Structure formats: C-alpha cells, structure tokens
Amino acid sequence: MNKSIWPNGAKCAFSFGWDLDGDTIWRNKVIKIPNGENFIRSKSIGLYGIMKGAHRILDIMEKYNLKSTWFVPAENVERYPELIKDILSCGHEIANHGLDHDDFYGNTIEEQLDNIRRSQDIFRRIVGKPAVGFRPTGPLLSEVEQILFENSNTLYYSRGMAEEKISFHEVNGKRTSAVRLPCRQELDEYIQMVYGSYPQVLVGQPRIAPYEDVLSNFIREFEGAIRFGSAITSAFHPQVSGTPGKAEIIEKLCEYITTNPDIWCTTCEEIARHWKENMEGVSHVC
C-alpha cells in the first residue's frame, strides 16, 4: 500500500458532513400536492433538525472535540442566522448546499450561474464570505461546472454519489482545480432511517433500518477507508441523527473515531486543502 498522505500517521481522512436541510426537502415535496403549501406535518420532521437536532449535534461534536462541515441551503442560512452563528462559533465550516434544496438549478447556463450566485450572495451577507465547498442538490450543466470549479474561490465539490476516490474534479475529461471529495450513500443515514408515510419518504415506504445495522455499516466503511487510505465524508442530517435514538449512533461513531489514531477527523475544507497542497507538492503546515 502507498504511504499515507494524511497528517500524524493517520491512514484515512474523514469529515462529518451535516446537511442542514430543515423543512426544505419536505416543503419541496408537499408543494406539488393540492393544498400542499398549507401542510405542516411532514415539514415538522425537517424542522426537528432546526429546532433541536442541530444543537444536539453541536453538543456531541463539542463533547468529542471534533470539527465538522455543515452543508446548508442558502435559504436556511437566511432563515436561521442565529443557528448559523452558533455553528460557526463552535469552529465548524459552513458550506454551500444549494439555494433552496430544489434539484432544478435552471435550464440555461446563465440561469444556473444566477442560482449559484444568489446562494453565494446570501453566504457573503450572513456568513461573511462565500462558501469554498459545494454539495449541489441537483445536476449542473458541464459548462456551469467548468466555470464554478475553475473559480479560484471554489476549493472542493462533495456530492452524494457512489464515487470513492479523492481527485481533481473532471469536466468532459478535463481536470479542474476543484477537489472532488467523495460522499458515498453508505454514509448517508437519511437513506437508512428517515420515514414519512405521506408524502412517502422514502418512496415505497421501506422499513426503518435496525440502528445496530446502520452503525455496523458505518464502521465497515471506515475500515475500508483505513485499508485503502481514502478521504471520506458523510451526508448526515440533524433532523435524523439529532433525534435521541439516532444520536446514540453518532455518539458511538464518535467514540470509535476519537479512539482510532488511523482516522484524521476534521472539516471538508481542511481535508481538501491538505490533499491539494500535497498533490501540488507543497508541504502542509498543521
């Protein structure tokens, strides 16, 4: 195996990615049903993440002295500036998770760029600077990717896909300067445990997974990352992981991470910078 490139002899790098979606995903679903704009029940599942879950996660991160990255739709940055301040004051990173969690960024290059510009303007106004990391909530045109990822302010791209290798993101076979930081479905607890019967979330109403199986799969993913020297990040959600029983899973995962010297746990920004500087032959100062 190649020599590890991660600091302090760690064999893999990990960042908790917290997708602070709030009620946007639920709102975007019910809005398509007649009278859906007035529905309040399924949205309240998402609001749990805002009202309680986010602060519970902040408490857990503090308890284990861990820094993480929060992917926030710009709409929620604007709606909950106090919460954003709390996240920042605990030393976490805030990254871009779209404008309103809609999967439609626009039909044309200009429409899509305008959508991204609007979200970054909100970040500038509330966070004080544009996000350097992106987890888009829908597909982008390759021309848009080209422009976004050649922008010197864009450091990394972390989308929810099955890819495994940290690399420079490529558009139409051409390398950009943005780091592609893998975020695999295996580290998305929403897929395993979210539930709403109407509207159906997930579609088809699959059973909520056994929590012991969820934790066991997470650990297997870490074991693989350690074995192959990978960089990984999660798509965890305060509206799911912040509820009491799922927070127990996060507690146990934090115990595993903090007692395992093979794992370098930090923000996505730190991982991306470290890897990029390493690739460009610049020694990283920790």
Residues that bind another protein (CB under 8 A): 23, 30, 33-36, 38-45, 47-48, 50-52, 55-56, 58-59, 62, 82-83, 86, 89, 193, 195-200, 203-208, 210-213, 243-249
CB of 25 to another protein, least distance (A): 14
Q: Which is nearer to another protein, 82 or 280 (CB)?
A: 82
Q: Which is nearer to another protein, 245 or 281 (CB)?
A: 245
CB of 103 to another protein, least distance (A): 21
Q: Are 2 and 270 within 8 A, CB to CB?
A: no
d(CA 191, CA 139): 19
Q: Which is nearer to another protein, 208 or 282 (CB)?
A: 208
Of 76, 228, 218, 104, the C-alpha closest to 166 is: 228
CB of 68 to another protein, least distance (A): 15
CB of 41 to another protein, least distance (A): 5
> With the C-alpha atoms ordered 265, 24, 189, 231, is the resulting torsion angle positive or negative?
negative
Q: Are 268 and 181 within 8 A, CB to CB?
A: yes
Q: Which is nearer to another protein, 195 or 228 (CB)?
A: 195
CB of 64 to another protein, least distance (A): 13
Q: Which is nearer to another protein, 79 or 284 (CB)?
A: 79
d(CA 41, CA 57): 23
Distances (CA, A) of 86 to 50, 127, 200, 204: 12, 11, 33, 37
Torsion of CA 126, 130, 136, 141, to 10 degrees: 130
Q: Are 180 and 162 within 8 A, CB to CB?
A: no
CB of 248 to another protein, least distance (A): 5
Q: Which is nearer to another protein, 3 or 207 (CB)?
A: 207
